[in-house]
Amino acid sequence: MLKFTCCNEVRQFSETPQARLLRGITRGYERECLRIDRDGRLAKTPHPKALGSKLTHPWITTDYAEALLEFITPPSSEPAFPLDFLKDVHRFSARQLEGEYLWAGSMPCRIGPDAEIAIADYGSTNAARFKMVYREGLGLRYGRAMQTIAGAHYNWSLPQDFWLSLRDCCGGEPKLQDFIDQRSFGLIRNFLRYGWLVPYLFGASPALCKSFLQGNPSDLTELVPGTLHGAYATSLRMSDLGYQNHAQDKMAINFNSLADYTAGLEAAIRTPDPYYAELGVRDGNHWKQLSNSLLQLEAEFYAPMRPKRVAPNGERPAKALRTMGVQYLEMRLFDLNPFIDIGIAPEQSLFADVLMLMCLFRASPPITSREQSENDENKRRVVTRGRQPGLQLLVHNREQPLRELAHELFDEMAPFAAMLDNAYGGAHYQAAMQALRLRINEPERTPSAQVLEAIKEHGGYFNFAFEMSKTHTQSLQASALSADTMGQFKTSVTQSLNAQQQLDAAPQEPFEDFVAAYYA
C-alpha cells in the first residue's frame, strides 16, 4: 500500500461537506494543431486575419510556427465548460480557413527542411519581436521540425477554501501560500513518479511520417512505405524523437521545493552554454537567439508538469513564482487523439483530476538524482514500448511488471474518484476509471494501439491523419454556432486587432534595452 500524508485527510474529504469544496477546482485546456493545405502539407499562408491578432487574442494564438495554432480555454470551475468552449473555438476557427484543414495528429504532416517552416510573426513591437527571437532560438538549438509537434496541456488549480481546510486537517505552514507551494510541489514530484500512466492510457502517437526525421537515423521500423513506428510505442511525441531536450540534462533544476525550482531556473537563464555561445546571439542587427544561456526563457525548460503563476506586467515566470507562489499547475503529457475533432476525450480530464488528487494527498519525499533517473527511464519505457507484453518498470532499483503497478495505482486512485463523485453527484469519475482500467490488461483498447490499426488500414500515417483532418475540419465547419457565440468570437477578433494596432503605434525603446530589462 502507498502512504498518504495524513491518515485523516482522505477520510475527511470523502465526507460530503468537505468533498463539495472540490467543486471549486478550476480547469482549462490549451490545444495546439497545425494548419495544413489541400495536399496535406504544412500551410505556408500567414495566420488568418479572420482569427484576430495572435499576439493579443485571448483564446486563439500560435505556438512556434506560423501554421501551429493554439486554442486556449478560459479557466472555469464548471467541469463541462473547457471542452464545450474548446469545441466552439474549433467551430469558429474552422470556418475561417480557406481551403485549409486542422491537422488531427500530434506528430506533424509531411514537412520539408527547416528553412520551409516559418516562425510565427507577431508584429513589430518589442514584445512581438521578443517572442519571435525566442522561437528563432528554439529552431537554432533544436531544429524547427521539433517545433511542429502538437499536444494538449491541462491547467488545474484547487480553490482557496479547499487549501484552508486541508491545512486545518493535518497542519502545515502557517502562511497559506507557503502551504500551497509546499503541497503543490509534493503533487508535482508524485506526478513525476506516476505520470507514466498518462501516455500509457492516452498516448496516440506511435508512428510518424518519415519526413519528420529530416534524414536522421532512429530505432523505429517501417510499418508501410513512408511511415515509421514503434511496434509497442504509445507516445513518440514524448520520446527522444519528440518534445524532449537532452541538452537540458546538465541543468540542476528539481522540484523538491519552490526555492530549489526557481533558483535552478534563474541559474539556467544566466549560465552560458559553450555550444550556444558558439552559435552566436546576433549577426549584426539580426538576433539569432535571445541569449547564449542554457535557457533563453524559463518556458524553454521541458517538464511533464510545471507550476505556474500569471506574471503581472511581463515579469519573468521564475520571479513571479518566487515572490507570489504557485497559482496553478500545467500538465503537459496529453497527445492529441486523432479520432476526435477537438483532439481531447472527456475522460482525459476526469482521469487527470483523480490522478492529481492522489498525487496531492500521497506522501511525497524529495526526489534524489537516482530516483529522477528511474522516473525518466520509466517514462522512456512507456512512451517507446508501453504496450509490450511483460514490460517491467523500475521501483527502487527493482523491476516490477507495468500491469501490476498500474493496477496498484488504480486501487489507490479509487477513493479520489469516489471523492469527486461525492463532490459533484453521480458516478462519472468512477465509471471513467473503471473503463480506463480495462486498458491495462487489454492494451488494444488504448488510443496508440487503435491508431496503429487505423494506419495499417489507410496504408500509412499520413493517409490516416490527413483523412481524419479533412473529416474533422469539414464536420466542424458544418456544425453551426449560435448567433450569440458567433458574435462573441467576432467581437474578440476585432478587439484583438485593435489592441495590436495600439501596440504597434506606441513608441518603442531599443530592442537591446528591452531584452536587458527582461533579464535584469
Residue range 315-322: mean pLDDT, rounded: 92
How does the average pLDDT of the chain come out, rounded? 94
Q: What percent of the chain has pLDDT over 90?
A: 88
User: Greater confidence, 18 or 55?
Assistant: 55
Q: Which helix (H) or strand (E) holds 72?
A: strand 68-72
Q: Would you give the DSSP letter of residue 269?
A: T
Q: At which residue does the C-alpha cell 487574442 appear?
A: 57
- Give 3-state DSSP helix, strand, coil % of the chain, rounded to 5: 50, 15, 35
- Measuring CA to CA, how many Å separate 391 from each of 11, 187, 451, 476, 488? 34, 26, 20, 40, 50
1 — pLDDT class (breaks 50, 70, 90) = very low
Residue range 357-383: mean pLDDT, rounded: 96
Residue range 468-486: mean pLDDT, rounded: 97
Residue range 418-439: mean pLDDT, rounded: 97
Residue range 428-442: mean pLDDT, rounded: 98
Residue 16 pLDDT? 84
The type of residue at 127 is: A
- Quote the CA–CA distance of 465 and 105 in Å, as a whole number: 6
* Nearest one of 51, 360, 415, 27 to 194, comparing CA atoms: 360
Residue positions counted in the chain: 520
Residue 363 exposed, middle or buried by CB count within 10 Å (0-12, 13-18, 19+): exposed
Q: What percent of the chain has pLDDT over 70?
A: 97
The type of residue at 221 is: T
pLDDT digits (tens, 9 = 90+) for 193-232: 999 999 999 999 999 999 999 888 899 999 999 999 999 9
CA 142 to chain centre: 18
pTM of the model: 0.96
Residue 96 exposed, middle or buried by CB count within 10 Å (0-12, 13-18, 19+): middle
Residues sharing a CB contact under 8 Å with residue 338, sequence separation 6 or more, in sequence order: 104, 105, 106, 204, 451, 454, 464, 465, 468
CA 228 to chain centre: 24
Inform me whether the pLDDT recorded for 268 exceeds 70. yes
- Each as own residue / partner, the long-range contacts of residues 474-479 (CB below 8 Å, 24 or more positions apart, any chain) are 475/341, 476/90, 476/91, 476/94, 476/95, 476/102, 476/341, 477/91, 477/94, 477/95, 479/91
Q: At which residue does the C-alpha cell 502551504 appear?
A: 179
Inform me whether the pLDDT recorded for 71 exceeds 90. yes
Instruction: Give yes or no for a contact between 239 and 135, defined as CB atoms under 8 angstroms apart.
Output: no
Residue 284 pLDDT? 92
Inform me whether the pLDDT recorded for 301 exceeds 50. yes
pLDDT digits (tens, 9 = 90+) for 159-171: 999 999 999 887 7
Residue 6 pLDDT? 57
454: number of Cβ within 10 Å: 18
Residues sharing a CB contact under 8 Å with residue 68, sequence separation 6 or more, in sequence order: 32, 33, 34, 35, 62, 120, 147, 148, 150
Residue 4 pLDDT? 67
Residue 497 main-chain phi, psi, to 5 deg: -65, -40
* Nearest one of 108, 155, 106 to 337, comparing CA atoms: 106
Residue 398 pLDDT? 96
